[in-house]
Structure 1
């Protein structure tokens, strides 16, 4: 894994240091199952229909797509909260860290009802240079859990 000396250089658009990055494992490197600390950018959220059982689903990726989109599939995982129609603070474009038990569903990593922490809101990630540093630190600066 990459050296974590430069983790102090990572900051939000507001210039605040971004804590919690060094504790995350890259989505590409997570094991088949077990307890995991990982995180990333929320690519999209999915709400359950009003007639269905409450369930809130978020898709997390290591890094957002650059201009022109992706040329290859990015490693992603699904995070599912049962019994929730919404999860406070979790929305598209937010960077979160999740802690919980990992399983696989159709070869896609899935984490059910994890603990979570918002590392940076969409508003804090408006500065492109800062976002690039965060993505680089998140993808390259992981330590195994």
Structure 2
């Protein structure tokens, strides 16, 4: 058995014994790296970043001043909250959708946040 076969066997055993969410996180992390995005866990507050991941949740957060649309993006390493100020809905921004976002990383209540990020909707993986 060659080293290549051992690698294949190891990957097969891992796929059979790993949690589905863990495998999905690994796949998302590898895909975002291949697309030139940074890992969310490596991003620091104040940096210009590009992150790619899947939207876990999207919700309208009405306030007295203005509504905001908030979404949780997960790239396989860590979550990032995306906040669009003054928006109630954005076509294509929905749970389960994969997007690439760019903006300046900030922190709110200890969580990573991107305010009004530039975004690109990604086509589904076949």
Q: Normalising by structure 2, report the TM-score.
A: 0.66
Q: What aligned pairs does 1:25-44 form with structure 2 within 5 A after superposition?
A: 25-44=38-57
Secondary structure at the residue paired with 2:41? helix
The structure that has the greater radius of gyration is: 2
Name stretches of at least 5 consecutive residues in structure 2 with no aligned partner: 1-30
Separation in 2, partners of 1:104, 1:19: 22
Q: Within 5 A, what are the aligned runs for 1:7-46?
A: 21-46=34-59
Change (3 A) 1:25 1:19: closer
Alignment RMSD (CA, Å): 2.4
Matches of 1:50 and 1:93 in 2, distance apart? 26
Separation in structure 1 between the aligned mates of residue 107 and residue 62 of structure 2, nearest angstrom: 24
Cα distance, 1:95–1:51 mapped onto 2, change above 3 Å: same
What aligned pairs does 1:110-125 form with structure 2 within 5 A after superposition? 110-120=113-123, 124-125=124-125
Residue number among 78, 83, 91 corresponding to 2:81 in the alignment: 78
Structure 1, unmatched stretches of 5+, are 1-17, 64-73, 131-145
- Offset of 1:104 from its aligned partner? 0.6
Shift of 1:26: 1.1
Question: Which 4+ residue blocks in structure 1 deviate beyond 6 angstroms?
Answer: none
- Tell me the CA shift for residue 39 of structure 1: 1.8
Aligned counterpart, 1:13 = none
* Kept in 2: contact 1:19–1:119 (CA 8 A): no
Label 1:21 to 1:85 Cα distance change in 2 as closer, same or farther (>3 A): farther
Change (3 A) 1:111 1:20: same
Structure having the higher helix fraction is 2
SS at match of 1:84: coil
